[in-house]
Amino acid sequence: MPVQSCGSAPGRAPSGPCGLPGFNAASAAGAEAALLECFGSRRWAKRLADHRPYPDLDALLAAADEACYDLSPTDRAEALAAEVAPGLHPDAPRSAHLALAAAHAAYECRFGHVFVICLDDFRPAEHPDHVLAGIRARLGHDPEQERVVTADEMRRLARGRIIELVSSQ
């Protein structure tokens, strides 16, 4: 089931340097490319790549959080455009696919971008229920409230993907 969780963004193959030492030693272009798989803002990726080396994972994650907080609306839109809406396993019942498609369409119509949610704390079998519940709950948000929630979900997704990137050996 393609979902938004830790690891490379849906539809993107994991790649990049091995471990934090490899990330720190990678070329600027290589580090930026690996970071773009974690979060689709070129400004964010360049900022993190330019501030290497990081002494440890916590320092990298803190820098990633800070860079997320400093993004412009244009940078956030670029990152959102790189995301794929969480979906269902192809073998799921047609009715489930239709319900999820309708929920995604309603969300995108209301807010103008793909629905994002970090599912790292849930078992894969629970993902569809959390996605549908999340969409339903967040459709009640006003645009500013949803902007804040979306930014936090994107930050959480980036953290999980960075952890996987620098933890791969």
Query: Which is more confidently placed, 88 or 164?
Result: 164
The DSSP secondary-structure symbol of 52 reads P
Q: What is the mean pLDDT of the segment spanning 18-43?
A: 95
Strand, helix or coil for residue 62: helix
Q: Give CA–CA dist 168/104, Å, rounded.
A: 32
pTM: 0.86
* pLDDT-above-90 percentage for the chain: 72
Long-range contacts, 65-69 (Cβ 8 Å, 24+): 65/155, 65/159, 68/39, 68/44, 68/151, 68/154, 68/155, 68/158, 69/155
The runs of H, that is alpha helices, within 26-93 are 28-38, 42-50, 57-69, 73-81
Q: What is the mean pLDDT of the segment spanning 102-128?
A: 93
Residue 16 binned pLDDT confidence (cut-offs 50, 70, 90): low
Q: Tell me the per-residue pLDDT of 34-81, one tens digit each, with 9 for 90 and over.
A: 999 999 999 999 999 999 999 999 999 999 999 999 999 999 999 999
